Amino acid sequence: DTAVSQTPKYLVTQMGNDKSIKCEQNLGHDTMYWYKQDSKKFLKIMFSYNNKELIINETVPNRFSPKSPDKAHLNLHINSLELGDSAVYFCASSRDRDRDNSPLHFGNGTRLTVT
């Protein structure tokens, strides 16, 4: 069974379009994250939700809007896509009550290509 699943795996779209990436976890975790991995493999936190509440919101353009309908889902909507948005986006989750040493569980990523 897939623990953290993202869809789609690949997303190719044109500049100016709006797109969404979905993420679901079946681990019963309280906290979910979105990370962006650039072409040099550098990973940067974008957002984090804990029990549907936004707790981390790094310096990310307003065009990016996360939504968490319940604690098992965290979706990412991107408006007016730009070339610089091309990257691999990873969803992750963790158990909150063992915060100090609870690892993050990652999805397999969504490769977004903006043309």
> What residue ranges bind other proteins (CB under 8 A)?
4, 31, 33, 40-45, 48, 50, 55-56, 90, 92, 94, 96, 99-101, 103-109
Cβ neighbours around 60 below 10 Å, total: 16
| Closer CB to other proteins, 42 or 70, in the complex | 42
Query: At closest approach, how far in Å is the CB of 1 from other proteins?
Result: 15
Query: At closest approach, how far in Å is the CB of 42 from other proteins?
Result: 5
Determine the 3-state secondary structure of 84 from DSSP.
helix
Q: How far apart are CA 64 and CA 56, in angstroms?
A: 13
| Closer CB to other proteins, 8 or 16, in the complex | 8
Strands 110-114 and 10-13: parallel
Q: How far apart are CA 91 and CA 89, in angstroms?
A: 7
| Closer CB to other proteins, 14 or 100, in the complex | 100
Query: At closest approach, how far in Å is the CB of 56 from other proteins?
Result: 6
Q: Residue 88 corresponds to which tokens in the numbers above?
A: 């691999």
Q: In angstroms, how far is the first alpha carbon of the chain from the final one?
A: 34
| Closer CB to other proteins, 14 or 40, in the complex | 40
Query: At closest approach, how far in Å is the CB of 112 from other proteins?
Result: 15
